[in-house]
Structure 1
Amino acid sequence: MSKRPSTANTLVLPPFGPVRTRRVFEDICDQIRGQVLAGILRPGDKLPAERELAEQFGVSRTAVREALRSLEIAGVVKLQKGVKGGAFIQGGSPGVLTQSIRDMVALGRISLESLTEARLFICDIVVRLACQRGKEADFRALDDNIQLTEELERMQENLRRTEAVVDFYRLLANAAHNEVLSILMLSTAEIVRQVLARLAPAPSAGLFESRRRLVQYLRARDEEKAVAEITAHLKRIHRYILRQEKLRNI
């Protein structure tokens, strides 16, 4: 991995190369992403000032500004204003993926059928890994979430209850101990939550019993029963979504 030369106060980066392509902002983005991939730039690092970047790339400050905005939208950098502001490398945000998929669902480029089908496959893998890798602390966190969700429902705290329902999938993915699957699991769960908020709240009958059975099967390392339990629940939710969507379009 490349070394990271630095001074006492400022990180000194290898100079970027001149840009000669027609869409220069894309080349700027590629070079910055390249240094992130190489480990030269890491989360929290501050990029050189806009004027200095323009000189290194051999482009206008407008092109640099456009590139930084593009990287901000992609979640690679965060732009901060003020005396101590600038462009900082981000640690990565699952929200960017969620927003991208949600936009494609809204635009009709991804169908609800495709979304729900993909979610079933992701949950299948996550549950199997949770059976194999989950620790008691993971299962206790799921138990606590179920109890909290029940309490919020009794209190009719609908917004917090919905957040807790989605958080169950985050905790389940944590038990699988795979960062990529955690991002995919949480993204699909959040998009389904947003779809339900647009259509109508899903019925909660049998939800808590199903989740308790799921955790029981996870503790027993019974992959087949655990997968069957969550698959049956998700299929009920997905049928409900598709039915509500059809009624909405009549």
Structure 2
Amino acid sequence: MTAGPHPSEDSDPGAALLRPVRPLNAFENTVERLLQTIRLGVLAPGESLPPERELATRLGVSRDTVREAIKSLAEAGYLVSRRGRYGGTFLADELPAPRTADVELRRADIDDALRLREILEVGAARMAAERTLDAAQREALRSRLIDVRGADPADYRRLDSRLHLAIAEAAGVPSLVPLVAQNRMRLNELLDCIPLLGRNIAHSDEQHEAIVAAILAGDVDTAAQTMAAHVWGSAALLHGFLD
């Protein structure tokens, strides 16, 4: 297929979607923006994406971030890269079906799980950082962090959940832990419907490390703010793939 000229931003229906992203989750929000243009039909099957340089400018991110997002979506089956004179990145002729299994997906349900997660887990990180943790509690956080950083992809969700539950336990409110656990089950059902993206896992690992470090240092604001950014990153991917 020959790639034709791209329309100007004023006439391009994707211009409103390909707008600057949140800097704290640049990769995840870039994936979300690209998925929105795909799932809303702004791009037709086989049609080419704008060049990387143009996408980077529109989204306010680096070309490396755009390249990583495109690579991840190609691995997930949404995009195809072609070389040669008429090469570029194209929307796949047939898009993968969401792996929804028996999960009933509605935007209201996704939002409910994500907003509850923000309330519970940002609060847990803040309260954990406010406390003076004993040696066992500090070691539990470090151990869970090490486990998830070295996790096999097939075991990532389980070990990720264990780390977040350890943070809830460190908050020192016993009734909080079952609430976080219940919502994590809902969240994992949703996350199991989307592909694991290597770049997102690496970013999550960085955020996990920053959250645990802030809790151990008693840095309340950083613990809460980094957990909030972590939650928003997951939200961006879920809405991008499932809405």
2:117 maps to what in 1? 119
Matches within 5 A, 1:82-121: 106=104, 108=106, 111-121=109-119
Greater alpha carbon shift after TM alignment, 232-241 vs 192-201? 192-201
Aligned: 1:232 with 2:229: yes
- Opposite residue 227 of structure 1, the aligned amino acid is A
Q: Which residue of 1 aligns with 2:146?
A: 147
Corresponding position: 1:165 with 2:160: yes
Rounded to whole Å, the distance in 1 between the matches of 2:210 and 2:107 is 36
> SS state of the match for residue 218, structure 2?
coil
**Which one-letter code corresponds to 2:126 in the other structure?**
R
Closer, same or farther: CA 192–107 of 1 in aligned 2, 3 Å: closer
Report which structure shows greater RCO (CA 8 Å, sep ≥6): 2
Q: How many residues align?
A: 138
Question: How big is the shift at 1:131?
Answer: 1.3
Q: Distance in 2 between matches of 1:129 and 1:135?
A: 15
Does residue 186 of the first structure (1) align with residue 185 of the second (2)? no
Q: Is the 8 A contact 1:122 1:181 kept in 2?
A: yes
Letter in 2 for 1:223: V
**Shift, 1:180, TM fit:** 1.6
Aligned counterparts of 2:160 and 2:230: Cα–Cα separation in 1 = 13
Q: Residue 118 of structure 2 contacts residue 231 of structure 2 at CA under 8 Å; is this kept in 1? A: yes
SS in structure 1 opposite 2:117? helix
Distance 1:143 1:165 in 2: 13
Pick from 209, 213, 224 the counterpart of residue 212 of structure 1: 209
**TM-score, with structure 1 as normaliser:** 0.51
Check the 8 A contact 1:139/1:215 in 2, yes or no.
Answer: no
Provide the C-alpha distance between the structure 2 equivalents of 1:165 and 1:190, rounded to a whole number of angstroms. Answer: 12
Opposite residue 127 of structure 2, the aligned amino acid is L
The letter of the residue matching 1:146 is L
Give the structure 2 partner of residue 20 of structure 1: none
Largest Rg, 1 or 2: 1
Structure-2-length-normalised TM-score: 0.52
Higher normalized helix content (fraction of residues)? 1
SS in 2 for 1:199: coil
C-alpha separation between the residues in 2 aligned to 1:226 and 1:212? 10
Distance 1:172 1:214 in 2: 9
- Distance, in Å, in 2 between the alignment partners of 1:206 and 1:108 is 27
Q: Within 1, Cα distance between the matches of 2:145 and 2:129?
A: 18
Give the residue type in structure 1 aligned to 2:159: A
| Percentage of pairs with the same residue | 17
Q: Which runs of 5+ in 2 are unaligned?
A: 1-102
Question: How far apart are the structure 2 equivalents of 1:188 and 1:243?
Answer: 20
Matched, 1:138 2:137: yes
RMSD of equivalent CA atoms: 2.0
